[in-house]
Amino acid sequence: MARHIPGPLFFDLHGPSGMPMLFLHSTPDDHRLWMYQTASFSSWYRTIAVDLAGYGRSPPAQKGVSLADQADATWEVVDRVSSGKVIVHGNSMGSLVAMHMAHQQPDRVPCLILSGTGYLPTRDAMKVWAKRYAEEGIELRYKQCLDHFSPPAQKLPHVQNYARMVCELNNPSTVGSIIAMNEALYRDIEPDSFFDELRMPTVVISGTADRNHEAARELHRHIKGSTFREIEGAGHAVMQEAPWLYDRYSIELIAKHGLWPGEMPT
């Protein structure tokens, strides 16, 4: 069992066969961030959408938890489905967990698909979020879920419904877990060598309205051989604002390396 995580993670599995495809969410979201991708890719893969510790239906994240702990716990999930390779998607915090997974077992990750992330030598914004959660409480979660979308998208009823849906699974330990993960994000800064050592095929997908957009370009430069794709007008949650483009850019990478069994999207 992973350190600082008192129990196995919850995951949502779809698709009867095929290579596993893993989805790791941002904070303060949960596995439903990937609702469009699990619906789409489960036609071809066994999709595994995980609630990271402290989110959704998973056990709480204890103080001192690290991104490596979350990666350990997620490998435990993958091992319940397959002992082989797994294509890994991550958004924001989930992208960092995905990269830690790739470091831990590089031979099992044939492709990395990263979004809502970037090369950030410091993550001061996460310190601000931790402080705000300590002061404002769990009510802040709804606001932060909306903050992951571009300003026009935040006004859409289905986006607001998504944010409410995530918050319906709040429990007494949720705010402490979110604070613990924000502390991990600003405490455990990866050295440049962490990115330089990632050798598997990688695509960095970024919305032009994401505050991390330029940092995403820089991350692409730090991951040797990676590709960069941008989605005009999208915010942090690119997979929800433009799922047709997010999926297309993912498939481009997967197909290039012989892992896409379907037809190319038009």
pLDDT tens by residue, the chain, 266 residues: 899 999 999 999 999 889 999 999 999 999 999 999 999 999 999 999 999 999 999 999 999 999 999 999 999 999 999 999 999 999 999 999 999 999 999 999 999 999 999 999 999 999 999 999 999 999 999 999 999 999 999 999 999 999 999 999 999 999 999 999 999 999 999 999 999 999 999 999 999 999 999 999 999 999 999 999 999 999 999 999 999 999 999 999 999 999 999 888 87
Residue with tokens 């949720």: 174
In which region does residue 250 sit, left (phi positive, over 0), alpha (psi from -120 to 50) or beta (all else)? Answer: alpha
The whole-number pLDDT of residue 73 equals 98
256 within 8 A of 203, measured Cβ to Cβ:
no
A 10 A CB-CB count for 204 gives 28
SS3 category, 175: helix
| Residue 264 covered by a domain | no
| Residue 6 covered by a domain | no
A 10 A CB-CB count for 57 gives 13
72 within 8 A of 104, measured Cβ to Cβ:
yes
| Residue 265 covered by a domain | no
Residue with tokens 């996460």: 126
| Residue 123 covered by a domain | yes
The residues pairing with 90 across neighbouring beta strands, listed in sequence order, are 24, 114
Taking CA atoms, 49 is separated from 2, 25, 59, 252, in Å, by 18, 8, 15, 21
| Residue 3 covered by a domain | no
CATH number, domain with residue 204: 3.40.50.1820
Domain membership of residue 59 as a residue range: 11-256
How many structural domains does the chain have?
1
pTM beyond 0.95: yes
SS3 category, 158: helix
| Residue 183 covered by a domain | yes
| Residue 44 covered by a domain | yes
